Amino acid sequence: MIRLHPSNLTKHHHRCYQRLTVAMLLGSFLQTTISLPTSAQQAESTPVTFTNQASYSYSYTDPQDPNAKPVVFQLNSAQTASTPRGLVDPFGRILGCAGAVLPDYTGFSVSLYEPLVGDPTGTELGQLVSLTRTEVPDIPNNNIPRGQAPNTANNNPFFITNNPPGVYNFLLDPNRGQTTPGKTYIFVINPSASSSIYTQRRIKVQILDNAGGSNNIISYLASSLDGQPISTTGETTVQGTTVLVPNAELTGLSLLAFQLTTNLCQVNQVQIIKTGDRATAEPGDTAIYRLSIKNVADIGLNNVVVTDNLPLGFNFLPKSVRGELDGKAVTITSERNGNTVTFRTDVTIPSQKTLNIAYAAQLTNDSQRGTGRNSAIVNAQRADNRFSIKDGPATHQLKIRPGILSDCGTIIGRVFVDKNFDGEQQPGEAGIPNAVIYLQDGNRITTDPNGLFSLANVLPGSHTGVLDLSSLPGYTLAPNKKFRERNSQSRLVRLEPGGLVRMNFAVTPSFQEQVQK
């Protein structure tokens, strides 16, 4: 309250009083704003509603009227009541894959990005989000808000320290539209450049709803962009789940929001290597394979399942399976389904230990038609949080030699005159020389003087032969009364590995008088 008692006022003086009054009102408002309780103080108390009001009065006496009484002028400003709305504080911690604190956070940083403009997937990084600058302590009259530890300056990116270990936070400013529904961010975790087991993590965060008011209730959708879990329960996407982010000036958060008490798992937690006892083999040989499953995680692995796909012509020998861990024999069960063999064990592989599985497979004659390449994949679970991990495929290439065996077969046949139309050559049914047969691969075969032909070193499988009737003037295809499929000038045969198959063609003279002769 200010009282002035001038003895003689002019219009100029009144204007001076008016300017003084406005300055005092503004000063009162600024002082009230700057002296708001800090975030830490408000976190320990109930929300405060404050009132701004300024008033002044002065008296005036007319100098030309000595009997006049002083007139008192008084003015009260309107009351303005409001509840402060501060920055929203996503506060979290970077933890290990099982939720434990990492031994060292030196060099780790976290960043908040805008999605890249024009990227239809919304997964590429754009510019860093421009965060409102904060500081501690407040500098009087500079209107800069107080920050929140550990990121007191609201830096983006923010470098994590070991005190407190793994903790970070960012302050989003509602006044800049940073909590508006539909706003999308990409949260990035960058491990130390010297780290050999961790890689960058990316999480997409979309603001779904902002209820506003003094509580700043925010719901959002968080999705992992790297396929790794967001939480210790294994989710990679939080969909349809509302996460409440209270006003950072009123409540301290240990945030599941952004799901940014975030797991940082090793990229490679299990490793599988497949080796064999030889580089070449031939049908009849037995090849011995070894599967080495190494646990490179920071915790034991159990529920180990190895799936091995054998090539064509490899006969798995179940009684040959052996298991070993840390120099001790372990039980390995096996199950075959076609060319796929599945190995299982109930043991837990300790960290940095290797489980070895050995087995044998015998090569059959069909192996020459296969690739000789087999591959294996391992699936396991962490013993602490049951996260599923896998590695593979690990492959081994075996070169197959024919040896004394060969899978190639032989096609033989005859072109003859079929007098009784049964499709089979009988005594007195002569062969036709110089008849031409074409195979599906374009090979041309000509019969000998007895109407016989043969083709050696033919790969197994289905083969087709077609009789060229133009090479047999005066003859046409003989009808077959017993087998309908032979009433065609083409034949389809199936040649087994190392086998022999017959391909006959029956013809008859085109003119009846030739038959009578």
Question: Among residues 84, 58, 86, which one has the least CA distance to residue 72?
Answer: 58
What pLDDT was estimated at residue 66?
A: 64
Question: Among residues 219, 87, 56, 224, which one has the least CA distance to residue 152?
Answer: 87
End-to-end Cα distance, the chain: 146
Q: Would you kindly state where each structural domain of the chain is located, as residue ranges?
A: 3-82, 91-264, 270-400, 409-516
The CATH-assigned architecture of domain 270-400 is Sandwich (2.60)
Q: What is the pLDDT of residues 447-464, one digit of tens each?
A: 999 999 998 888 888 999
Q: What is the pLDDT of residues 290-304, one digit of tens each?
A: 999 999 888 899 999
Higher pLDDT, 312 or 209: 312
Quote the CA–CA distance of 501 and 486 in Å, as a whole number: 16
The count of residues in the chain is: 517
Burial label for 272, CB within 10 Å (0-12, 13-18, 19+), is buried
What are the start-end ranges of the E strands in 225-372?
237-238, 261-264, 270-276, 280-281, 286-295, 301-309, 314-325, 328-330, 333-337, 340-345, 354-363
> What CA–CA distances, in Å, run from 349 to 296, 323, 334?
10, 12, 18
Quote the CA–CA distance of 415 and 453 in Å, as a whole number: 8
Q: ∠ CA 268-270-276 to the nearest 5 degrees? A: 120
What pLDDT was estimated at residue 141?
A: 47
Place of tokens 């599941």: 256
pLDDT beyond 70 at 225:
yes
Q: What is the pLDDT of residues 388-413, one digit of tens each?
A: 888 989 999 999 887 765 678 899 99
Residue 352 region, left (φ>0) first, then alpha (ψ -120 to 50), else beta? left
What pLDDT was estimated at residue 262?
A: 59
User: What average pLDDT score do residues 84-89 get?
Assistant: 49
What pLDDT was estimated at residue 60?
A: 56
Domain 409-516: which CATH number of 2.30.40.10, 2.60.40.10, 2.60.120.10, 2.40.30.160: 2.60.40.10
